[in-house]
Structure 1
Amino acid sequence: MARRVKTSPELIGGDVEDGYGKIADVFRRNISSGQEVGAAFAVYREGRKVVDLWGGYCNGNTKARWEQDTLVNVFSTTKGIASLAVAVAVSRGLLSYDAKVADYWPEFAQGGKDEVTVRQLLSHQAGLSAIDPPLALGDLADPITMSAKLAAQAPAWAPGTRHGYHVVTLGWYEGELIRRTDPAGRSLGQFLADEIIKPLGLDFYIGLPASVNRDRVAHLHAWSRAQLLLHLNRWPPRFVLALFNPLSLEARSSLIAKGITGPAQFNRDELRVVEMPASNGTGTARSIAKLYGSAATDGSEIGLTPGILEALKKPALPPVHGSRDRVLHVDTSFSLGFAKPAPLSFFGSSDNAFGTPGMGGSFGFADPDTGIGSAYVMNKLGFHPISDPRELALRRVLFHDILGTRPQS
């Protein structure tokens, strides 16, 4: 994990409703023990905010405090928010999960992708986890170039036969689908902002606008390569071994663009301002929890129809050859852009839950059976690919001790 910073419990702000005090105790322990530099945790239940905590430092180097409105990059937790935007578009009839991607994006059909459905693409089954040749940073801000390069990719496996985590590409494919089907031709980040974020008064951005004061954005305290090598036992062994071969599917799937060498690069503003709907959402725990809390109730507040909400709750439809992930080399479960509870991580009170974790420890998800929307964010990146011990401790108190539901892992 990144540097250890001594943090006083006096730097903790926010509150919890009666009955949720144990969560505050765990959050305070995480902060004061040195496990965090800065972090926030929020929970909505049946549309009501019941937990809203923040603390530590927005920047451990300058000792700037983590404030109520501090924003932080949440890496792959972004995927769930992007997929909620897609779900809203589906609810409005702009596209269908069961239509072919090429119906909306004819150029996508090349390379043997003509039969790939939106559902398969969003479920990491399309075999498009890597971009060959690798992108340049300048490509990310050019939607025409991105569209052509994404459409030109050939699947790494026969679509629908396997699945493999689309670490960074999922968001770009979702973004092009939104751009192609939105009558206004907006990017996914702009669609999200106009149709969901601004109407609800939330703080979350895919592509950080110039109007946001950068002093509000938390500095990421990321691990070095040497530190990561000491903690590779936290990751699936076959995935780790493959990363040492830059030509492997696993390594290529983890590459964002040439010259981006690690998570600390996301402290650069040029990586904040472009849209990466799978990996660079910047926001507050409160906003993420609010979005998932809305989805966990009836979904109408953010524009989800009852039918689409039911679809998000349903179990994943596994590929033909089972649930072993072709990229991560563990059993995973994905549906409509979200992770579903699986042996690697059982979250929520039942398998109706859906959400996405992010590199370093962040996690946002909806639990429809309890009406819970939960979000944990931080700026000190941990080494666990999922269920970071800091987040897991908070989630266990919420679901086991307070709600009395199944164990969390």
Structure 2
Amino acid sequence: MSVRVDVPPGMVHGDVDEGYGPVADAFRRNFAERDEVGAACAVYRHGRKVVDLWGGYRDGGRGLPWEADTVVVMYSTTKGVASLAVALAHARGLFGWDTPVADYWPEFAWRGKERITVRQLLAHQAGLPVLDVGLTVADLADPDLVAAALALQRPLWEPGTRHGYHAITLGWYESELLRRTDPLRRSLGRFFADEIARPLGLDFCIGVTDDEVLRRRATIHGGRTGLQMLLHLRDFGPRTLAAMLKPGSATRLSVSNPPELTSDTALNTPELLRVEIPAGNGIGRPSAVAAAYDAALTGALGLTPATLEALVRPAEVPAGGDEDVLLKVPARFSLGYLKPTPAVPFGSASDTAFGTPGSGGSFGLADPDTGIGYCYAPNRLGFGLLDEREIAVRQALFHDVLGERPQAARH
């Protein structure tokens, strides 16, 4: 449902530390100037929360205000949270980055996948963005069934030679890797809940098990039609949009299994929130995501220096170059994360930042140089691979407050 509402200034709440006023100003302007409906933003620095903002409506159609404890679906921002669980498992010695996945999961070797390493899989280089076996939402509750479907998949390109965004499948592959290496055989959602969310007190989950979370959730306002997307051609880029709209393209198929996922508001349904889609259906408070990234940097998460250094290190570009086969734009991926490029700058100029943006406007990241853990998440879905509302807030933080580089590419 597409919605436009007027948000009075008095509906923006929260606090910022001294010196972070420009972030609050940018957050407010999103409601006044950029048609924001509801959103929240949080920033941690060196273990301390310095920005905690929320405002607008968690349901614009019904006029329900966004509260301090409102949770929101974050689409692919979930990938970064999920990959923190993978990083923690690596830090505990459960697997190695450069070991073939099949060493831990023998069936993965089927159909030409025997040499794919964990690093290649997490860098979207495995050629596995599409799943040929059709799944239902109910199937997603059976990890053995999902694992069999994943194992049967044949790569779309020679692994390691190119990369293409594994929009949905990445999280399921990560989850099965965890199930095969965790002594308790936990799924990614359960591992995250037990080892990260509960110890750190984070209000975020992948696979809802408590209906109280559903009662606090923000309604996703979308309704993005093909025509509306064409009107935002500049935001998407013509080649990206053409690939997304073309029936039968790998880009389209990568977000069409189960078929319910083709609707941009599908994640309003409890059924899709109760199953685990670690690449896209995480739900929680943006402050929890910012805190999780902060914990990765401060040591509270439990990453070893070697594991953290691997996340900070520049991405290894595949032999075929950095153009994404599916998104048709240059990109750099490493260990489950997007890394900064001249086209998509984020964090400080050192390019040590790591994070993931989500469809519609969310973004969570860690920036080691400044000690920042950051997340912004709205409930009105925007257009494009990145969103002007989020960029405006991130620009205020990194450029205006911290004196770092601009957060948008110059054209």
Counterpart of 2:30 in 1: which secondary structure?
A: helix
Distance 2:344 2:2 in 1: 23
Q: State the Cα distance separating 1:208 from its structure 2 match.
A: 1.2
What secondary structure sits across from 1:160 in the alignment? coil
Q: How does 1:104-119 map to 2 (within 5 A)?
A: 104-119=104-119
Output aligned runs, 1:53-132, within 5 Å. 53-132=53-132
Aligned to 1:141: 141
Indicate the residue corresponding to 1:406 in structure 2: 405
> Shift in Å at residue 34 of structure 1?
5.4
User: Which whole-Å CA distance do the structure 1 matches of 2:56 and 2:314 have between them?
Assistant: 38
Partner of 1:310: 309
Q: d(CA) in 1 for partners of 2:398 and 2:243? A: 36
- Secondary structure in 2 matching 1:164: coil
Note the C-alpha offset of 1:352. 0.3
Provide the residue aligned with 2:337 in structure 1: 338
Aligned twin of 1:301 = 300
Matched, 1:283 2:314: no
Give secondary structure in 1 for the equivalent of 2:212: coil
Q: Is the 8 A contact 2:79 2:171 kept in 1?
A: yes
Task: Quote the residue 2:204 is aligned against.
Answer: 204
Contact persistence 1:235–1:384 (CA under 8 A):
yes
SS at match of 2:159: coil
Which residue does the alignment assign to 1:240? 241
Quick one: which amino acid aligns to residue 124 of structure 1?
H
Return the alpha-carbon distance in structure 1 between the equivalents of residues 257 and 385 of structure 2: 17
Q: Deviations over 1:332-366 (max 9, x none)?
A: 00000000001331000021000000000000000
Per-residue deviation, residues 276-335 of structure 1 (Å, max 9, x unmatched) = 0000000111100001112233xx211100110000000001111110111111110000
Write the letter of the residue equivalent to 1:405: E
Kept in 2, the 8 Å contact 1:331–1:343? The answer is: no
Q: 8 Å contact 1:4–1:34 — kept in the other structure?
A: no
Q: Distance in 2 between matches of 1:234 and 1:348?
A: 21
CA distance in 1, matches of 2:262, 2:335: 29
Counterparts of 1:381 and 1:97, CA distance in 2: 34
Which whole-Å deviations, capped at 9, do the CAs of 1:65-101 have from their partners, x for residues lacking one? 1011100000000000000000000000011111110
Residue matched to 2:347:
348
Deviating beyond 4 angstroms after TM superposition, the runs of 4 or more aligned structure 1 residues are none
Question: Which residue number corresponds to residue 50 of structure 2?
Answer: 50
Correspondence for 1:271:
272
Letter paired with 2:240: F
Q: Is the 8 A contact 2:255 2:262 kept in 1?
A: no
Q: Tell me if the contact between 1:221 and 1:379 (Cα under 8 Å) persists in the aligned partners.
A: yes
Q: Which amino acid aligns with 1:293?
A: D
Partner amino acid, structure 1, of 2:283: T
Counterpart Cα distance in 1 of 2:233 and 2:254: 18
Aligned runs of 1:350-369 on 2, under 5 Å?
350-369=350-369
Q: How does 1:254-265 map to 2 (within 5 A)?
A: 254-265=255-266
Q: Secondary structure at the match of 2:252?
A: helix
User: Taking structure 1 as reference, are residues 344 and 139 closer, same or farther at Cα in structure 2, changes over 3 Å only?
Assistant: farther
- TM-score computed with the length of structure 1 as normaliser: 0.97
Secondary structure, counterpart of 1:40 in structure 2: strand
Unmatched runs of 5 consecutive residues or more in structure 1: none
Q: Is the 8 A contact 2:168 2:279 kept in 1?
A: yes
Give me the whole-angstrom Cα distance separating, in 1, the residues matched to 2:212 and 2:26: 31
Report the counterpart of residue 184 of structure 1 in structure 2. Answer: 184
- With 106-115 and 32-41 compared, the bigger mean Cα shift is at 32-41
- Matches of 2:389 and 2:66, distance apart in 1: 17
Q: Between 335-344 and 148-157, report the one with greater CA deviation.
A: 335-344
Query: Is the CA contact 1:38–1:66 (under 8 Å) kept in the aligned structure 2?
Result: yes
Quick one: distance in 2 between partners of 1:120 and 1:68?
39
Cα deviation, 1:170-225, whole Å, max 9, x if unaligned, reads 00000101111111111100100100101111100000113424221000001331
Post-superposition offset of 1:2: 3.6
Q: Is the 8 A contact 1:6 1:34 kept in 2?
A: no
Determine the C-alpha separation between the residues in 2 that align with 1:286 and 1:318.
32
Cα contact 1:125–1:163 (8 A) shared by 2: yes
* 2-structure distance, mates of 1:370, 1:243: 36
* Cα distance in 1, alignment partners of residues 310 and 30 from structure 2: 36
Unpaired segments of 5 or more residues in structure 2? none
The farther-off stretch of 258-267 and 138-147 is 258-267
Matched residue type, 1:288: V
Taking the aligned partners of 1:214 and 1:207, their CA distance within structure 2 comes to: 11
Distance 1:34 1:340 in 2: 27
**TM-score, scaled relative to structure 2:** 0.96
Q: Aligned residue for 2:194?
A: 194
2:41 alignment partner in structure 1: 41
